[in-house]
Amino acid sequence: MATETVRLEEKARRALYSAFGKVRAQADPVKVELPRGATPIDGPDDVLVLVLGPHGGLVSRRTVQGRLDLRELGLRLAGAQAAVEGLTKEPAVQSPSLTASDAAVLDEAGLAQGERDRPGAFEKSRIEFELLVKQSFTLERAAKILGVNPSRLRQRLAQRTLYGIKEGRAWRIPTFQFDAKRKMLVRGIEKVLPKIRPDAHPLAVATWFSNPHRDLVVGDGETPVTPLQWLAGGGSAEIVANLAKEI
């Protein structure tokens, strides 16, 4: 599978913005012509992926083998959209993610999105889980950041003072446990993690830590903060550990 990426010049980016504006306004296909040398489509197995933003544009050409599953591609693009939103939002203001079991119940009850070409609740949950795993550190990377041997982190995983997701035989270490600069673990989190049910879904764990909790309030206005913010601000780890039993 071959792939190549080039950066679009401003003229090409403006032309694409204009073309996609026409796509939204009418049902008929709109022809989009890229400038010479900007990774043209050479055959039926070539797929272009465009990324357009206020600060620039990128186009990536990838040659695929076999028949392209457009529905699966749509789900992957939905995952890319979620990743873009995650880059521009603080965890504290993200809406709670559904657990896999909750999402499955919604799908079975017919409460997922009605359009067949859009991902339902369970598919969204799967995409979010894939993103969580992909964005996590490898065990070796986490050990290097913390300045310890990987064997030490394996001990902590066994003691449940570090949270990990098993991927085959390897471990992935979700980044929510690290401070804002991702150079050390959030203060006191090692006292909280053992209180979480061992069978809790990773999405539920990451969401709980990253969303405001009604029982964790600060300031005269009693503003709810996330468990991560509470711990990082010097709040009692014992209070968060007691609340973690609800996950």
Q: Are residues 125 and 150 in the same domain?
A: no
Range of the domain at 219: 136-246
Residue 137 has a CB neighbour count (10 Å cut-off) of 21
- 108 confidence band (pLDDT: 50, 70, 90): very low
Q: Are residues 100 and 142 in the same domain?
A: no
Most confident of 19-23, 109-113, 221-225: 221-225
Task: Read off the DSSP letter of residue 178.
Answer: B
Helix axis angle, 70-88 relative to 121-134, nearest 10°? 60
Tokens of 137: 């550190």
Give the residue from 114, 135, 156 where a domain finishes: 135
| CB neighbour class for 29 (10 Å; exposed up to 12, middle 13-18, buried from 19) | exposed
Counting the structural domains of the chain, the total is 3
Return the pLDDT at 114. Answer: 43
Give the residue from 135, 150, 167 where a domain finishes: 135
Please give the model's pTM, rounded to 2 decimal places. Answer: 0.55
Contacts with 15 (C-beta within 8 Å, 6 or more apart), sequence order: 32, 33
Q: pLDDT tens for residues 110-144?
A: 444 444 445 566 677 777 888 899 899 999 999 99
What span, in angstroms and rounded, lies between the C-alpha atoms of 208 and 229?
12
Return the pLDDT at 232. Answer: 94
Give the residue from 51, 68, 85 where a domain finishes: 68
Tokens of 82: 């979620």
Q: pLDDT tens for residues 80-106?
A: 565 555 555 544 333 345 555 545 544
Q: Are residues 200 and 220 in the same domain?
A: yes
* Single-letter code of the amino acid located at 27: A
